[in-house]
């Protein structure tokens, strides 16, 4: 798969880990590590989208393409839309959003998501994986997604969906073996033209209650394809403990 772009949003502000994009990981800033992983995919271009000059400078030092974006974007998708306009990408250009705190992201996953976009020609796609732990099913911090027969998202929720009525009436500690439970992974791909469309869509009540911005897309009638992978990708960095975990992984390499 070729001919797609990767955009890595990197904001300096972080409530749990201030300055996270510039955190040192084996001698390089985190955002640079993420960009280097993304560059191992078949992307034709990798761009960091930032709101801070220090991040812009760090990228320049390591030869990473970066652009300055506004600080007042309501969401990461809106930031991507600004980048797509700045780059003058054609409407059909595939844009994969890789979060700036995922230095262990698998390049093959980026390729798979871009390939799904190319094969189905949908405006947006994302990723999910099966899970077997019942506590995750009932954890509102774990986002679930239900698919139709073609692999399109029917709904995303923090609630336990699909709900096994009869099984859970007797026992909620075990998931039925054939229950199609999928955990949503917050990685997205878009057609560049749809990024501009998204920015013009009004927020939906669903996304406001669930605090899930992808529900805006479904609310307005646009399909989201979902690539189902067998296992969860490597976790990103949200806390100081996560940072030490990734440092240990890189040291082991």
239 falls within a domain:
no
247 falls within a domain:
no
Q: What is the pLDDT, as a whole number, of residue 171?
A: 93
Q: How far apart are CA 65 and CA 7, in angstroms?
A: 10
169 falls within a domain:
yes
Cα–Cα nearest to 41, from 91, 92, 83, 3: 3
Q: How far apart are CA 93 and CA 5, in angstroms?
A: 8
Q: Give the list of residues 6+ apart from residue 91 with CB closer than 8 angstroms, or none.
A: 191, 192, 193
Q: Which residues of the chain have pLDDT under 50?
A: 1
CATH code, domain carrying 143: 3.90.550.10
Q: What is the pLDDT, as a whole number, of residue 232?
A: 84
- pLDDT tens-digit readout, 204-231: 999 999 999 999 999 999 999 999 998 8
Q: Give the list of residues 6+ apart from residue 225 with CB closer than 8 angstroms, or none.
A: 116, 117, 120, 122, 124, 125, 126, 151, 152, 153
248 falls within a domain:
no
Q: What is the pLDDT, as a whole number, of residue 77?
A: 85
251 falls within a domain:
no
Q: What is the 3-state secondary structure (H, E, C) of the chain?
A: CCCEEEEEEECCCCCCCCCHHHCEECCEEHHHHHHHHHHCCCCCEEEEEECCHHHHHHHHHCCCCEEECCCCCCCHHHHHHHHHHHHCCCCCCEEEECCCCCCCCCHHHHHHHHHHHHHHCCCEEEEEEECCCHHHHCCCCCCEEEECCCCEEEEEECCCCCCCHHHHHHCCCCCCCCCCCEEEEEEEEEEHHHHHHHHHCCCCHHHHHHCCCCHHHHHCCCCCEEEECCCCCCCCCCCHHHHHHHHHHHHHC
Q: Give the list of residues 6+ apart from residue 238 with CB closer than 8 angstroms, or none.
A: 16, 17, 101
> Domain range for residue 110?
4-232
Q: How far apart are CA 144 and CA 159, in angstroms?
A: 7
Q: What is the pLDDT, as a whole number, of residue 15?
A: 64
Q: What is the pLDDT, as a whole number, of residue 71?
A: 81
Q: Are strands 28-29 and 24-25 parallel, antiparallel or unpaired?
A: antiparallel
249 falls within a domain:
no
pTM of the full structure: 0.92
- Residue 218: count of CB within 10 angstroms of its CB: 20
Residue reference for tokens 């500690």: 173
Q: What is the pLDDT, as a whole number, of residue 76?
A: 76
116 falls within a domain:
yes
Structural domain tally of the chain?
Answer: 1
191 falls within a domain:
yes
What tokens does 145 get?
């997604």
């Amino acid at each position: 798969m070729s001919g797609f772009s990767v955009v890595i949003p990197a904001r300096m502000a972080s409530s749990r880990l201030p300055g996270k994009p510039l955190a040192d990981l084996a001698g390089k800033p985190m955002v640079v590590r993420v960009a280097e992983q993304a560059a191992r995919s078949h992307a034709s271009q990798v761009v960091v989208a930032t709101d801070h000059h220090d991040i812009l400078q760090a990228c320049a030092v390591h030869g990473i393409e970066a652009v300055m974006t506004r600080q007042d974007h309501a969401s990461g998708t809106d930031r991507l839309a600004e980048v797509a306009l700045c780059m003058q990408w054609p409407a059909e250009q595939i844009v994969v959003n890789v979060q700036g705190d995922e230095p262990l992201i698998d390049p093959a996953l980026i390729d798979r998501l871009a390939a799904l976009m190319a094969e189905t020609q949908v405006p947006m796609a994302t990723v999910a994986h099966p899970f077997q732990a019942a506590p995750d099913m009932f954890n509102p911090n774990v986002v679930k997604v239900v698919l139709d027969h073609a692999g399109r998202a029917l709904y995303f929720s923090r609630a336990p969906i699909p709900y096994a009525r009869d099984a859970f009436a007797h026992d909620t500690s075990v998931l039925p073996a054939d229950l199609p439970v999928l955990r949503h992974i917050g990685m997205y791909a878009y057609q560049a033209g749809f990024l501009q469309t998204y920015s013009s869509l009004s927020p939906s009540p669903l996304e406001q209650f669930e605090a899930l911005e992808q529900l805006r897309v479904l609310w307005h009638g646009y399909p989201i394809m979902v690539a189902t992978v067998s296992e969860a990708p490597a976790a990103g960095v949200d806390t100081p403990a996560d940072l030490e975990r990734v440092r240990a992984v890189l040291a082991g390499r």
